[in-house]
């Protein structure tokens, strides 16, 4: 619940007890080491690649205090090095620290399986790294769907046909839209909905808030550290629910898509104006120590 009286730079601890999901309380920095901080990108670090004021310094501050920062994004269209470069361009070194829904989607395929790709370059990169054979037409073990701007009727027909012939249907994410300076535009979930409708099959979805993305985080930092993590996000239906999936805390910021004062569901452990205010709470106000 949000009290709606946030002042600039303020963070509000909504609970003093156990984090969402009933998992053990986050340990103190001294007893368990610095916690992992999982950061959403759009609406937390930047808006359309323009840094949200204070976010770059906040990431540096976390790292200076020994916290591992991972950027957890449902963007499956861009290659990882493009996302790392975009972060570097605003002053955040991030090589090896970006986890995408394309990587999570690749976990749903086994090496040597064949995937029909109805998605962008990020998915092709992740499938290559996984040892998955890719095709654009014909039969496949799975169809994987993500945002791509070349999507058309023929691509929809190929994807639906493969599913009709027995391929599993995987979506990198089910975000209906994503934000741009000109307002929301269709996201990967809109394309996935078309393939689901045409094939009559419900997809397994990889990205936030679902389990494959949680597995990706656990594989990166370990299960115990994942549960001690703090997820910082602006979209409760994605980021807040993802924190629940991981069993970690959720710090909600008002710098993104959620209008200030809205009901945040699931209830966050902390609300703040922006990432800088979250980090102030984490490193100065002893948030990890409770």
Question: Applying CB under 5 A, which residues contact Mg ion?
Answer: 40, 42-43, 234-235, 256
Q: Based on the residue annotation, tell me whether 182 is a catalytic residue of this protein.
A: no
In terms of CB distance, is 44 or 123 closer to Mg ion?
44
Q: Considering the candidates 5, 13, 32, 42, report the single residue annotated as catalytic.
A: 42
Write out the two tokens for 239.
Answer: 């980021």
In terms of CB distance, is 43 or 54 closer to Mg ion?
43
Nearest to 281 by CA among 259, 251, 242, 256: 251
In terms of CB distance, is 19 or 256 closer to Mg ion?
256
Helix (H) or strand (E) holding 72: strand 69-73
Tally DSSP H helices, then E strands, for the chain. Answer: 11, 16
Point out the residue whose Cβ comes nearest to Mg ion.
Answer: 43
> CB–CB of 218/226 below 8 Å?
yes
> CB–CB of 130/142 below 8 Å?
no
Instruction: Quote the least distance from Cβ 73 to Mg ion, whole Å.
Output: 8
> CB–CB of 133/112 below 8 Å?
yes
Instruction: Quote the least distance from Cβ 44 to Mg ion, whole Å.
Output: 6
In terms of CB distance, is 253 or 283 closer to Mg ion?
253
Q: Based on the residue annotation, tell me whether 139 is a catalytic residue of this protein.
A: no
How many C-beta atoms surround the C-beta of residue 121 within 10 A?
Answer: 17
Q: Considering the candidates 3, 40, 152, 239, report the single residue annotated as catalytic.
A: 40
Instruction: Quote the least distance from Cβ 241 to Mg ion, whole Å.
Output: 13
Instruction: Quote the least distance from Cβ 253 to Mg ion, whole Å.
Output: 9
Write out the two tokens for 152.
Answer: 């058309």
Active-site residues, by number, are: 40, 42
């Amino acid at each position: 619940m949000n009290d709606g009286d946030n002042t600039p730079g303020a963070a509000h601890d909504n609970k003093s007890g156990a984090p969402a999901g009933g998992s053990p309380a986050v340990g103190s920095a001294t007893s368990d080491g610095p916690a992992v901080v999982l950061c959403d990108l759009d609406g937390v670090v930047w808006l359309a690649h323009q840094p949200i004021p204070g976010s770059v310094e906040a990431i540096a501050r976390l790292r200076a205090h020994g916290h591992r920062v991972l950027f957890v994004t449902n963007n499956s269209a861009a290659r990882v090095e493009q996302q790392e470069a975009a972060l570097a361009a605003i002053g955040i070194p991030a090589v090896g620290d970006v986890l995408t829904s394309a990587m999570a989607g690749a976990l749903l395929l086994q090496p040597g399986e064949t995937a029909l790709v109805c998605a962008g370059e990020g998915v092709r990169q992740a499938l290559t790294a996984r040892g998955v054979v890719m095709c654009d037409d014909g039969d496949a073990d799975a169809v994987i769907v993500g945002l791509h701007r070349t999507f058309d009727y023929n691509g929809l027909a190929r994807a639906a046909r493969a599913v009709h012939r027995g391929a599993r249907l995987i979506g990198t994410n089910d975000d209906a839209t994503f934000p741009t300076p000109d307002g929301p535009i269709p996201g990967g979930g809109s394309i996935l909905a078309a393939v689901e409708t045409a094939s009559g099959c419900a997809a397994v979805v990889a990205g936030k808030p679902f389990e494959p993305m949680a597995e990706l985080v656990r594989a990166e930092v370990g299960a115990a550290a994942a549960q001690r993590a703090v997820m910082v996000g602006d979209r409760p239906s994605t980021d807040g629910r993802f924190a629940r999936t991981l069993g970690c805390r959720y710090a909600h910021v008002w710098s993104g898509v959620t209008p200030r004062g809205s009901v945040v569901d699931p209830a966050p452990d902390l609300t703040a104006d922006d990432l800088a205010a979250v980090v102030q709470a984490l490193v100065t106000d002893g948030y990890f120590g409770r």
